[in-house]
Amino acid sequence: MVLGTTSGAGKSWLATALCRWYARQGLKVAPFKAQNMSNNARVVAPTLVASRTALPPEGAVSWLGAARRQDAGGEIGSAQYFQALAARAEPDVRMNPLLLKPESDMHSQVVLLGRVDDELTRMPWHERGAKVWPAITRALDELRAQNDVVVIEGAGSPAEINLKHSDIVNMRVARHADASCLLVTDIDRGGAFAHLYGTWALLGQAERELVRGFVLNKFRGDSSLLEPGPRMLEELTGIPTVATLPMWHQHGLPDEDGVFDERSAHGGAVHKTVAVVAYPRISNLDEFQALKNVPGVRLVWARSPADLARADWIILPGSKHTTGDLAWLRSQGLDRAIAQHAQQGGAVLGICGGLQMLGEALIDTQGIDGNGPGLGLLPLVTVFEPAKLVKKTRSRFGGMSGPWASLSGAEVSGYEIHNGRTSQHAGMAPGRVAMADGLAWQNEQGNVLGVYLHGLFEDAGILHALFGASVPTLESVFDGLADFIDLHFAAGAIQGLIRDPAGAPAARAPGTETE
């Protein structure tokens, strides 16, 4: 299990690297995170999962013995999706049984085992733990039974003593699985030794005994200068520092929250600047990681009109609260800047919630998202419906024009996660249908494009059509992560985490060979 002294310490990144490292040893590996809070979610294919009945009054989740096949896809956090791919495993809703998707500062939509659970969403936060813990442990136990290694990711810090009574994601999970734990800290922030010692000190004795090593992440400079810090820390805690990982901006893996850092952009001359509008409830920003890796492309945030001044493309990404983010966009004056950019022939792309914003109107009679006028750049109307559409999709662009002409006829695979249903405005001249089945539209001039499909830039064919470039594949990224930790961890430390108390290594999956 990978724990962190803070959010952003490097848990997701390290867990992904470990998934690939163990998979390369010929082991059958699965990731797991009991609860994730993120608006970056992925759709997983129909999966055999145990059926769940309605929550009974006493709060226990009842499971039927027979598994059922879900008719539609389910949602899991993007971090566990990528970890599953790194583990060479099929992404599964059990790998992230509880997903919280923030819709405001005080409210989150609750997704349990891939499906929105309205009862849990309405429930006070502190009451959810007892309701969901049986589902969490069942999912974890099934993964442990079916795999040689399960790489578990914690959340935030395990030393939040004000939250310990309701913990369902950190040390309670570690104790349930009797997991060997790594505690990682971001040394670039400063205070790393205090973070490690303080976290360890606030754990109970039985919990401390599960911690097998400390990891210093994002280090700059000569690691010998850290001495005698690691040795003194081990004298205080009995726990060795098993790795000092150098700062690495260009590893190629999307950050868990989809936040990109301009320092990690691809080097070289900039030929195209792409501005992504960063409204408060942005979602699925991790899908833009591939753009960050394209030579000659500069990816920037846009929070003010000035941020759009030199943009070649403007992207309106997904949103967990479309009307709220649209109101914020207007309050910043970004609506006028986007309109001006479009009027001058600049390329505008709206994805999912961004597509909905580009239309004429947002209509909500069910209290789902809210009513409001759109930006009026596409002749579309979106009506919000209670049922969320969650599925993987493969489609093809039709005849395209303007800056998107190179997409004509291109096939694309992606995924849909949205409540709204969008159609042409009955009282306006129709726009161009860019993709069948209500998936995409283009304005008559050809420079404004709206699509419901997430994952465009993760499709190699789309990237080649737009940029004539290839970017590192996810497989090469995962292998690079595994190589990196193999180089910087103490010899035998990674393998030692999966030895049982008697010292025997984990058994390999039948029919596999150690690489």
Q: Of these residues, 181, 266, 321, 352, which one is catalytic?
A: 352
Reference 137, options 176, 179, 91, 90; nearest CA is 176
Q: What is the torsional sign of CA 255, 261, 262, 267?
A: negative
Reference 424, options 333, 359, 353, 491; nearest CA is 359
| Count of beta carbons in the 10 Å neighbourhood of residue 470 | 12
As a whole number of angstroms, the distance between CA 379 and CA 219 comes to 51
> What angle (nearest 5°) sits at the alpha carbon of residue 36, between those of residues 362 and 176?
150
As a whole number of angstroms, the distance between CA 94 and CA 12 comes to 17
Indicate the DSSP class of residue 88. Answer: T
**How many alpha carbons fall within 13 Å on the CB side of residue 501?**
4
The question of whether 418 is a catalytic residue gets the answer no
Task: List all residues 6 or more positions away from 402 whose beta carbon is below 8 Å from its beta carbon.
Answer: 345, 347, 442, 445, 446, 447
**ω into residue 158 within 30 of 0, thus cis?**
no
Q: Of these residues, 195, 266, 418, 454, which one is catalytic?
A: 454
The question of whether 19 is a catalytic residue gets the answer no
Indicate the DSSP class of residue 502. Answer: T
Which stretches of 153-254 are DSSP H helices? 171-177, 192-202, 205-208, 229-237
Indicate the DSSP class of residue 284. Answer: -
Helix or strand run (H / E) with residue 13: helix 11-23
Give the residue numbers annotated as catalytic, written as ranges.
Answer: 352, 454
